Amino acid sequence: MIEWLLAISILAIIVGFYWIYDIYKLNKLADCLVGHQVEQERLEHQIHEKPFRIFLVRHGLSSGNKSLALYNSVPDPLIPLEPEGREMAVKAGNALREKFLELYPPSKGFRPRIAMRVSPFLRTRETALGLLKGMGEVASWVAFVKETPLLVEQDWGLFEGTGREKRKNRYQDEHLWLTMMKGTHQGPYWARLPCGESFFDVCQRMQILFPSIERDREGLRGYRKRSGSTDAVIVVSHGLTIRAFVASWCNLDVEWFSRSSNPPNCSIRMIETTNESTDVGYIFGGFDEENHEHPLDVNELNSSENWNVPSTVDEWLAFMKIQVNQGDSRPPSQRSRSSRMSALSPYPQKIDEATRLSLPVPKFGLSP
């Protein structure tokens, strides 16, 4: 009996010892997890306190910009830059170099880590090469270059490279349908090109891209920390895609699209982000098709897009009051549905009733 009691006592001591040891290990693990969480929050706070800058660069003058007829023989992804376009890219690289030296002067001993995101089209690849050439010694600050198909140009579907006049003759029904969608049914923000994309579709692509840019900013790969967060990213893309990037990243309203225009070739637009995103505007004006020597005036470009976005509830209510009452003084309850939709729509391109009724009915069954 005594032997049994002794054995049970020894077993109880051993179990108790392991139980106490397990509690000790759990407490140590909890301390480690809490410490890791505190350290992670501290690092995230440091990362989000310092400004993160995005430089949006449109490709240089391409052969497709000069002649739409090229689309009849060359696929859109393979359209190259013109010689003038390559020179534009080098000049834009010089402008980036000056801006980076201004923002990150070597005298302060800080070397930024810069990422570059590039559309895989030939003209954007060639533009990226020109930018790196023009950046000179600052190009060594670029830590990596990533290509992503999310940055490609808007898909024009059936209308790719055809031009407006050929579109009317070659795809009459589709052209009629798109005219109705843009004019009276949806508006240009939502209307999808036949077999292609709408501006809204391109904005959705940008939303898919943003998490990977944020992971680069925070130095994350999945849930694992990797060495070196990025301080800035250079995005080399296309005209409408850059507008979609700005609209999505800065949470701009759909009205901004109808009041903005595609950026000039090799123009540079900067967004600065800490806790909130600020569209700084153009820092380099780029070039138009006629003037390849001197960049466009930055102040004129920025003033043409002076669009204040409502940021508070009161501002939004005042903005909506202007939109709803525009062009019709009657209360909303006394207006027809089409009248209310027209008043809410920010788009000036409208088809009057007589023109709309005179349009032929498309063959694929949509009633005008």
- What is the average pLDDT across 271-291? 86
- Band of the pLDDT at 64, cuts 50, 70, 90? confident
Q: What pLDDT does residue 24 have?
A: 65
DSSP run (H or E) holding 114: strand 114-118
CA atoms within 13 A on the CB side of 178: 21
DSSP 312: S
Residue 307 pLDDT greater than 60, yes or no: no
Q: What pLDDT does residue 146 have?
A: 95
Residue 360 pLDDT greater than 50, yes or no: no
- Band of the pLDDT at 259, cuts 50, 70, 90? confident
C-alpha to C-alpha distance for 208 and 202, rounded to whole angstroms: 10
* 105 to 96, 192, 195, 217, 229: CA distances (angstroms): 13, 46, 48, 20, 19
Q: What pLDDT does residue 248 have?
A: 92
Burial class (CB in 10 A: 0-12, 13-18, 19+), 35: exposed
- What is the average pLDDT across 269-287? 88
Q: What pLDDT does residue 354 have?
A: 52
- Band of the pLDDT at 66, cuts 50, 70, 90? confident
Q: Tell me the pLDDT of the chain averaged across its residues.
A: 77
Longest dimension (CA), the chain: 109
C-alpha to C-alpha distance for 353 and 366, rounded to whole angstroms: 17
More confident of the two residues 127 and 8 = 127
Residue 365 pLDDT greater than 60, yes or no: no
